[in-house]
C-alpha cells in the first residue's frame, strides 16, 4: 500500500484520502500486505467515521470486499466494538451481516466472542435472522459468549433463543460444558435456571458438564451443578470414568475433597473404569502421594482392588519404586493392609460374573469354627478374565462351525443339481451317471450335504447354558464337520476324475490332484491329532494333581502348602484356574477339542 495512503487512513485524514483518489482512483484497489485489508477495512478498524461514511457513500461495493481471512470491513468493526461504524456498514448493505470468515464465524459470533454488548444488541434488533442462520451449524454465538464469560450477552441470546442452550459444537460441547470448564459461575446458573437436565448432556467423549468441571477443578461449579442435579454425579464417561476418576487423573485434590465431603461416595469410590482401575490405581500410577494418603485415610477405598491386569495399587507402586514418592505411597498402602495381587487369598468363582457384597470379619470364634469342611481352592480373581475369554472362544467356535456347515451345504447342493460332466438336454439325466467316478462323487457329495445340514439343525436347535454342555456339543459337531469336509474333498476329487479325459497324457493331472488333496487333508489330520493328544495328556496330569490336593487335610499347614502349590503351578505357566480345559492349555493360548 502506498505510504501516503497508509498515513491518511491511519490518521483518518479525509481530505488527504480524497486528494489521493482524485489523483489516481486505482489507489482504492491497493491493499495492506499479508492481511489484504482494503482502505475500508483499515478505516473501519480505526473507527474513522467520516472516512467510512465517505467511502460507503461513493463506493458502496467496498462494503462486501474481503481480506485474506474472508473478513469484510464489518468484521473489523465488530472486533473492535465500533457501534457507529457497524451501523453505517449495515445501512449501506444489510446482507454483509451474513458474511462469514474462513473459520465460519459471522459478525454476531465475533461480537459475542469479544463481549461487545451494544453491537450484539444492534444485530439482534436489526438482523434477527442472524440467530436462525446458526441453527444448522455447530458452534453458535452463544458458545462464543460463554467462552468469553460475557454474562449479559448470554442473557440477551437466551432471551430470544433458549433452545441454543442445547446446541453442541464439533466436540459435542454444550454452552454449559464450556461454562463449567471455564469456571463461569453466573453463566452456569443461567443455564441451570432454564433446564437442570442440561447436566446430563454428554460430549463426544461421554463427559457431562460435571465431568468438565472436575477436570479443571472448578469447585464452585461442582457445587452449583450438584445442587441442581445430584443424580448427575453417577454418570460415567465412554472410558467408564467416574467424576472421582477424573479428579484424580487430573490431580485436582481440592475438587476430590469437596466431592468426598459432599457426596455419599460408597458406590463410587471402588467403581473401576474400563481398564479395571479404581481411583487408587490412578493415584498411585500418577505418583500423587497426597491424594493416595487422603483416599486411604478418608474414603475407605479398597486398597487391594484388582484391575484387568491383576494388579493392586501396591503392584502399581512397585513397578516404579525408584523415587521417594513411590516409597512413601508404598508405606501408606502397606499400613492400610495393602498387598500384591499374587499374595491375595483365593476368591470365589462367582466373582467372575457377579460382584458379591463385601463380607466383614466376625469377632465370634464359635462361628468361625462352626464348620469343619475344607474350603475348596478357587481361582484368584486376577485370572478370572481367562475363563471369560475361554467362554467367548467357545461361542465364537460355535458360530464358526455353523457358518462352515452352511457353506458346505451350499457347495454340495449346487454340485448335486449341476453334476460334473453335464446333463442330457432332453431328459435332464447326468451324462456320466453310469461311470464309477460319478457314483463315488454322488455318494460322497450327498453324505457331505446331509452331514452339514445335520450340524446346522443341531447347532440352531440346541442352546447349552453350561460350559461343559457347550464343550460336548462342539466336540461332536466338530468331528462331524471334519467328516463332512473329508467327504467334500473326496467328492471334489471324484468330480475331477469325471471331467478330466482318461487319456495317458492326462493321468498325471488326477495324480497331482489326489496327491495335493490327500496330502493336505491328511497332514492337517495328523498335526491336529498330535496336538489333541498332547492336550489330553496335560489335562490328565492336571486332574491327577487336583485329586492329590483334595486328599489333603483342611488344617493350617495344608492351607500353607496349597498356597505354595499354587505358586509352583504359576511358575509352570498355569493360572490357578478351576477350568480343566483352560488349565491344561498352559501358556499356549489356545485349546484343542
d(CA 62, CA 95): 13
d(CA 73, CA 334): 68
d(CA 326, CA 322): 7
What value does the mean pLDDT of the chain take?
80
442-455: per-residue pLDDT in tens? 898 889 889 888 88
Which residue do the cell numbers 459337531 mark? 477
Radius of gyration of the chain (CA): 39
CB-based contact 421:430 (threshold 8 Å): yes
Which residue do the cell numbers 453335464 mark? 422
Angle at 278 between CA 277 and CA 283, to 5 degrees: 95
CB-based contact 280:295 (threshold 8 Å): yes
d(CA 305, CA 285): 14
50-100: per-residue pLDDT in tens? 999 999 999 999 999 999 999 999 999 999 999 999 999 999 999 999 899
Nearest to 496 by CA among 432, 410, 426, 539: 432
CB-based contact 220:208 (threshold 8 Å): no
DSSP letter assigned to residue 358? P
Share of the chain above pLDDT 70, in %: 79
Nearest to 405 by CA among 369, 453, 446: 453
Q: Which three cell numbers stand for residue 569?
A: 503351578
d(CA 24, CA 14): 15
HEC sequence for 246-307? HHHHCCCHHHHHHHHHHCCCCCCCCCCCCCCCCHHHHHHHCCCHHHHHHHHHHHCCCCCCCC
CB-based contact 217:182 (threshold 8 Å): no
CA atoms within 13 A on the CB side of 571: 6
Q: What is the average per-residue pLDDT within 559-579?
A: 42
DSSP letter assigned to residue 93? -
pLDDT at 129: 78
Residue 168: pLDDT over 60: yes
406-452: per-residue pLDDT in tens? 888 898 888 888 888 787 777 778 777 778 888 888 898 889 889 88
Query: What's the distance, CA 389 to chain centroid?
Result: 20
d(CA 438, CA 62): 89
d(CA 26, CA 10): 19
d(CA 323, CA 320): 8
CB-based contact 31:1 (threshold 8 Å): yes
Please report which confidence band the pLDDT of residue 389 belongs to, taking 50, 70 and 90 as the band edges.
low
Most trustworthy range by pLDDT among 183-197, 362-376, 385-399, 463-477: 183-197
115-124: per-residue pLDDT in tens? 999 999 999 8
Please report which confidence band the pLDDT of residue 363 belongs to, taking 50, 70 and 90 as the band edges.
very low
217-268: per-residue pLDDT in tens? 999 999 999 999 999 999 999 999 999 999 999 999 999 999 999 998 888 8
HEC sequence for 13-41? CHHHHHHHHHHCHHHHHCCCCCCCCCHHH
Residue 494: pLDDT over 50: yes
3-state SS, residue 433: coil
Please report which confidence band the pLDDT of residue 271 belongs to, taking 50, 70 and 90 as the band edges.
very high
pLDDT at 589: 52
> Residue 423 forms beta bridges with which residues?
430
Q: Which residues contact 13 (CB under 8 A, 6 or more apart)?
A: 7
d(CA 227, CA 221): 10
Please report which confidence band the pLDDT of residue 503 belongs to, taking 50, 70 and 90 as the band edges.
low
pLDDT at 365: 37
DSSP H or E run through 134: none
DSSP H or E run through 355: none
CB-based contact 579:390 (threshold 8 Å): yes
Q: What is the average per-residue pLDDT within 152-172?
A: 92
Q: Which CATH code for domain 269-342? A: 1.25.40
DSSP per-residue string spanning 375-403: PPP---GGGHHHHHHHHHHHHHHHHHHHH
Nearest to 68 by CA among 16, 26, 31: 31
pLDDT at 509: 64
pLDDT at 193: 93
Which residue do the cell numbers 473401576 mark? 272
Q: Which residues contact 159 (CB under 8 A, 6 or more apart)?
A: none
DSSP H or E run through 545: helix 507-550
Residue 513: pLDDT over 80: no
DSSP per-residue string spanning 114-133: HT-HHHHHHHHHH-THHHHT
DSSP letter assigned to residue 368? H
CB-based contact 185:209 (threshold 8 Å): no
Q: What is the average per-residue pLDDT within 464-483?
A: 80
CA atoms within 13 A on the CB side of 159: 10
d(CA 201, CA 194): 14
349, burial (CB in 10 Å: exposed 0-12, middle 13-18, buried 19+) = middle
Q: Does domain 1-104 have CATH number 3.40.50.150?
A: no
Amino acid at each position: 500500500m502506498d505510504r501516503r495512503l497508509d498515513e491518511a487512513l491511519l490518521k483518518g485524514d479525509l481530505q488527504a484520502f480524497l486528494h489521493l483518489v482524485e489523483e489516481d482512483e486505482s489507489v482504492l484497489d491497493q491493499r495492506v500486505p499479508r492481511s489484504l485489508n482494503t482502505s475500508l477495512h483499515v478505516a473501519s478498524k480505526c473507527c474513522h467515521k467520516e472516512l467510512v461514511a465517505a467511502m460507503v457513500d461513493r463506493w458502496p461495493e467496498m462494503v462486501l470486499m474481503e481480506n485474506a481471512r474472508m473478513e469484510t470491513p464489518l468484521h473489523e468493526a465488530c472486533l473492535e466494538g465500533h457501534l457507529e461504524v457497524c451501523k453505517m456498514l449495515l445501512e449501506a448493505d444489510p446482507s454483509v451481516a451474513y458474511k462469514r470468515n474462513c473459520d465460519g464465524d459471522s459478525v454476531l459470533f465475533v461480537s459475542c466472542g469479544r463481549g461487545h454488548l451494544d453491537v450484539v444488541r444492534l444485530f439482534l434488533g436489526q438482523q434477527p435472522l442472524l440467530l436462525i442462520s446458526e441453527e444448522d451449524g455447530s458452534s453458535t454465538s452463544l458458545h462464543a459468549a460463554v467462552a468469553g464469560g460475557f454474562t449479559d450477552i448470554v442473557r440477551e441470546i437466551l432471551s430470544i433463543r433458549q433452545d441454543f442452550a442445547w446446541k453442541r459444537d464439533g466436540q459435542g460441547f454444550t454452552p454449559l460444558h464450556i461454562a463449567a470448564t471455564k469456571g463461569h459461575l453466573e453463566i452456569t446458573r443461567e443455564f441451570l435456571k432454564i433446564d437442570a437436565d442440561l447436566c446430563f448432556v454428554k460430549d463426544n467423549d461421554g463427559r457431562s458438564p460435571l465431568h468438565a468441571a472436575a477436570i479443571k477443578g472448578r469447585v464452585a461449579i461442582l457445587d452449583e451443578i450438584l445442587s441442581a442435579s445430584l443424580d448427575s454425579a453417577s454418570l460415567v464417561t465412554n472410558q467408564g470414568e467416574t467424576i472421582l476418576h477424573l479428579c484424580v487423573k487430573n490431580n485436582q485434590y481440592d475438587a476430590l475433597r469437596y466431592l468426598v465431603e459432599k457426596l455419599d461416595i460408597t458406590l463410587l469410590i471402588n467403581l473401576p473404569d474400563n481398564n479395571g482401575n479404581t481411583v487408587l490405581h490412578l493415584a498411585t500410577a500418577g505418583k500423587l502421594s497426597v491424594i493416595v494418603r487422603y483416599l486411604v485415610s478418608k474414603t475407605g477405598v479398597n486398597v487391594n482392588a484388582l484391575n484387568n491386569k491383576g494388579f493392586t495399587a501396591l503392584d502399581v507402586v512397585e513397578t516404579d519404586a525408584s523415587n521417594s514418592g513411590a516409597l512413601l505411597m508404598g508405606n501408606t498402602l502397606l499400613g492400610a493392609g495393602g498387598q500384591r495381587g499374587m499374595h491375595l487369598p483365593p476368591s470365589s468363582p462367582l466373582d467372575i460374573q457377579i460382584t458379591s457384597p463385601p463380607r466383614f470379619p466376625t469377632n465370634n470364634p464359635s462361628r468361625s469354627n462352626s464348620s469343619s469342611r475344607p474350603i475348596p481352592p478357587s481361582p484368584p480373581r486376577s485370572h478370572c478374565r481367562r475363563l471369560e475369554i475361554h467362554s467367548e472362544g467357545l461361542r465364537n467356535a460355535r458360530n464358526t462351525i455353523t457358518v462352515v456347515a452352511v457353506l458346505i451345504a451350499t457347495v454340495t447342493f449346487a454340485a448335486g443339481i449341476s453334476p460334473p460332466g453335464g446333463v442330457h438336454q432332453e431328459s435332464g439325466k447326468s451324462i456320466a451317471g453310469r461311470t464309477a467316478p460319478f457314483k463315488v462323487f454322488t455318494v460322497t457329495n450327498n453324505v457331505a450335504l446331509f452331514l452339514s445340514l445335520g450340524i446346522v439343525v443341531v447347532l440352531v436347535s440346541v442352546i447349552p447354558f453350561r460350559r461343559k454342555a457347550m464343550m460336548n456339543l462342539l466336540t461332536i459337531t466338530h468331528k462331524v464337520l471334519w467328516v463332512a469336509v473329508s467327504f467334500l474333498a473326496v467328492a471334489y476329487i471324484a468330480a475331477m476324475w469325471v471331467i478330466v479325459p482318461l487319456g495317458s497324457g492326462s493321468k498325471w493331472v488326477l495324480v497331482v490332484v489326489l496327491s495335493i488333496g490327500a496330502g493336505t487333508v491328511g497332514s492337517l489330520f495328523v498335526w491336529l491329532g498330535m496336538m489333541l493328544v498332547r492336550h489330553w495328556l496335560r489335562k490328565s496330569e492336571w486332574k491327577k494333581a487336583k485329586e492329590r490336593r483334595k486328599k489333603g487335610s483342611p488344617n493350617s499347614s495344608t492351607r500353607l502348602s496349597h498356597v505354595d502349590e499354587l505358586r509352583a503351578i504359576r511358575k509352570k505357566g498355569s493360572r490357578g484356574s478351576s477350568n480343566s480345559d483352560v488349565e491344561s492349555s498352559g501358556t499356549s493360548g489356545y485349546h484343542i477339542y
